[in-house]
Structure 1
Amino acid sequence: MSDLGYPQDQGSGVDDSYRMPRVVRVAQLFAVGLALIGVVCAASAGWLLGSKSAMMTAVPFLPAWLLGLVALTFNAEGQSVRIGAILLAVLNMLWTVPSITDGRPPGPLGPLVSLVVIVLLFRREARDWFEPSYW
């Protein structure tokens, strides 16, 4: 209550049950961020070194781009979105491990971001967000 006895404005009228939990939002930001890093790396390699270098740089980021696209659908209900994102994060982790030894992007950033996304999407808040109770 405010000093005048009126209840404080809670914001835009959005109920807390419709707000994305922090763990899901952080997982979404990490996944989309890695996808954007892939776009910047591929574009800069193409601009600086040519199209062949851009293609070689883009290949390790393919699962990250798919994961970023799936992360944009985190507002959808259903466990299939969460499980699909987890499986793409595992694929991204396995796909980008050779780039660490080759010294190419994404290097250790790919497996680390994938691990963060996996851990965050296995949290209880994430499970409850993707499969809410109806009543």
Structure 2
Amino acid sequence: MSEGEVGAQRMPGPVRVAQLVALGMAGMGIVCTASAGWLLGGRLALVTGLAFVPAWLLGGLALAFGAEGDSIRVAAILLSGLNMLWTIPSITAGHPPGWLGPAASLVMIVLLFRRSSRRWFEPGW
């Protein structure tokens, strides 16, 4: 069903929030990396950018949340888990994203496990 059709289904709240969290983390990664490059140089921008690689992949995947298929939801859950594990060391090191990386990942995992999220990606479920 396309967006222009009358009666098109709206994205459920948990899926929309998960999408916004993923896009927010990806955007924060761009801002932090650009700021590190501008203020501290290219080498530190690269180090900062490496911490956001899973968040950027997750942000790209979040753009496909309107498509049908449970594989998108499962991939987002797995990438969120990877992002959580990837960003935990930044908490102790005091680098971005700090505690926001694991917290955002946990929020996404919880939201994507909700029944309404499963129904959105797999309508026949």
For Structure 1 versus Structure 2, the TM-score category normalised by the shorter chain is: over 0.9
1:78 and 2:72 matched: no
Aligned to 2:107: 116
Give 5+ residue unaligned stretches, structure 2.
none
| CA–CA separation in structure 1 for the residues paired with 2:51 and 2:45 | 11
CA deviation vs aligned residue, 1:52-111 (integer Å, no higher than 9, x gap): 010011011000000000011001100000000000000000000000000000000000
Runs of 4+ residues deviating >3 angstroms: none
1:43 and 2:8 matched: no
Q: In the superposition, relative to structure 1, how do residues 14 and 24 fare at CA in structure 2: closer, same or farther (>3 Å)?
A: farther
SS of alignment partner, residue 71 of structure 2: helix
Q: Which amino acid aligns with 1:51?
A: G
RMSD, aligned α-carbons? 1.4
| CA–CA separation in structure 2 for the residues paired with 1:13 and 1:126 | 22
Q: 1:101 aligns with which of 78, 92, 102?
A: 92
Larger Rg: 1
Q: In the superposition, relative to structure 1, how do residues 41 and 14 fare at CA in structure 2: closer, same or farther (>3 Å)?
A: farther
| CA–CA separation in structure 2 for the residues paired with 1:50 and 1:113 | 28
Identity of aligned residues (%): 63
- Per-residue deviation at 1:14? 4.1
Q: 1:55 aligns with which of 42, 46, 51?
A: 46
- Per-residue deviation at 1:133? 2.5
The alignment's TM-score, normalised by the length of structure 1, stands at 0.87
